[in-house]
Amino acid sequence: MFSFEDYREILRLVKESGRYATYGEALEREEFIIMRHDVEYSVDRAYALSRVEDSMDFRSNYFFQWTNNSYNILSRKNRDLLTDMHERGHMIGLHFALNGMTDMELIRRRIRQEMDMLSDMLGFAVNTFSIHRPSPAVLAENIKLPGILNAYQDEFFSFDPKAGPDSALRVKYLSDANHIWRYGYPDAETIAAHPRIQILAHPFAWTKKGYENEENYRTLIREKYAEMIDSIDGECKDFSPYREGFMGMLT
Ligand SMILES: [Zn+2]
C-alpha cells in the first residue's frame, strides 16, 4: 500500500471509469470522480506525485497550505515547482487552515483574501480551496463564494454528522488520512458501486517504494532534514566542511 505502483492502479481504475472530472466539470455532471490532494509537510512529495500522474496522462487537484509550519510555497524553489505543476495542467488550490478561527464571516473573508494573495504571488488564478481539518461547523456552513469552488461544498461532499463508513450518501468520500482508508479503498468494486466519488490522497503518504505509517514518517523526516542541510549550505559559505557529518546523521 502507498507505493507509486499502487497509486497508478487507482489512477488506472479512475481513468477506466470514464467519470474523471475536475471540480468545475463535476458541477455539471450527474456522475463523476474527483481526485484531490491536500498537501501537508512536503511540496517535494506533491511534486513527485504529480509526475506519477503525468506518466499516466492524468491531471488532478493539489491544495497547498501557506500558513503551516513545515513548508513555504513562496520560496523560490517551491514556487517553481508549483508553476511547473500548473503549466503541466494540474489545478493548484488553497488548502485553507482555520488556525482556530470560528467566526464564519471572518473565515469567508480570509479564504477570499488568501486566494487573492496567492493568485497574485503565483501569477495565475487560484479559485478552488479545501479546508485543513474542517470542523463540523464549517462543513455544515457549506461555504460558497462567487467565482470560487469549495472541495467541501455540497455538490462535491455530503456532510452528515451521523453518517458511518457504510452510509449511503450522495457523494462517496474516500480518504487516506493517517494511512487509513476509513471510508473504503478506491478499488474496482468501490468505484463501480458509487456514481459520484471524491478521493482525497495526501501526497506525503505516497512514495516510490511505499511504506507503512511509521517508516513513511521516518523517510519524510529524513527528506526534510536533508532539505535543511541544503538550505544552510546554500546560505553559508563556511558550512561545507560540516556538511558531510550532518548528512552522515541521516544513515
Ligand atoms: Zn490538511
pLDDT tens, residue by residue, 71-102: 999 999 999 999 999 999 999 999 999 999 99
Are residue 86 and residue 11 in the same domain, yes or no?
Answer: yes
C-alpha of residue 39 to centroid of ligand 1, in Å: 7
Check residue 1 and give its pLDDT.
84
C-alpha of residue 242 to centroid of ligand 1, in Å: 35
What is d(CA 45, CA 41) in angstroms, rounded to the nearest whole number?
Answer: 9
CATH code at 45? 3.20.20
Check residue 104 and give its pLDDT.
97
At 209, the pLDDT band (50, 70, 90 cuts) reads: very high
State yes or no: pLDDT of 165 exceeds 80.
Answer: no
User: For residue 91, which amino acid is it?
Assistant: M
Number of domains in the chain: 2
C-alpha of residue 202 to centroid of ligand 1, in Å: 8
Check residue 164 and give its pLDDT.
77
Are residue 122 and residue 216 in the same domain, yes or no?
Answer: no
Residues of the chain above pLDDT 70, percent:
100
Are residue 158 and residue 199 in the same domain, yes or no?
Answer: yes
Are residue 25 and residue 103 in the same domain, yes or no?
Answer: yes
What is d(CA 188, CA 17) in angstroms, rounded to the nearest whole number?
Answer: 9
What pTM does this model have? 0.95
Are residue 156 and residue 243 in the same domain, yes or no?
Answer: no
Q: Mean of the pLDDT values across residues 125-147?
A: 96
C-alpha of residue 113 to centroid of ligand 1, in Å: 19
Q: Mean of the pLDDT values across residues 25-40?
A: 97
Are residue 193 and residue 243 in the same domain, yes or no?
Answer: no
C-alpha of residue 131 to centroid of ligand 1, in Å: 7
pLDDT tens, residue by residue, 172-204: 999 999 899 999 999 999 999 999 999 999 999
Q: Mean of the pLDDT values across residues 115-129?
A: 96
C-alpha of residue 243 to centroid of ligand 1, in Å: 33
Are residue 82 and residue 205 in the same domain, yes or no?
Answer: yes
Are residue 240 and residue 118 in the same domain, yes or no?
Answer: no
Domain containing 64 equals 4-210
Residues of the chain above pLDDT 90, percent:
90
C-alpha of residue 37 to centroid of ligand 1, in Å: 9
Are residue 121 and residue 196 in the same domain, yes or no?
Answer: yes
Are residue 135 and residue 227 in the same domain, yes or no?
Answer: no
Question: With contact defined as beta carbons under 8 Å apart, do 136 and 99 qualify?
Answer: no
Are residue 246 and residue 194 in the same domain, yes or no?
Answer: no
CA distances from residue 37 to 52, 63, 222 in whole angstroms, order as listed = 13, 6, 22
Question: With contact defined as beta carbons under 8 Å apart, do 172 and 196 qualify?
Answer: yes
Distant-in-sequence, close-in-space partners of 94: CB < 8 Å, separation ≥ 6: 63, 64, 65, 66, 111, 114, 115, 118, 126, 128, 129, 130
State yes or no: pLDDT of 251 exceeds 80.
Answer: no
C-alpha of residue 70 to centroid of ligand 1, in Å: 12
C-alpha of residue 128 to centroid of ligand 1, in Å: 14
Residues whose Cβ atom is located within 5 A of ion ligand 1: 38, 132
Are residue 76 and residue 134 in the same domain, yes or no?
Answer: yes
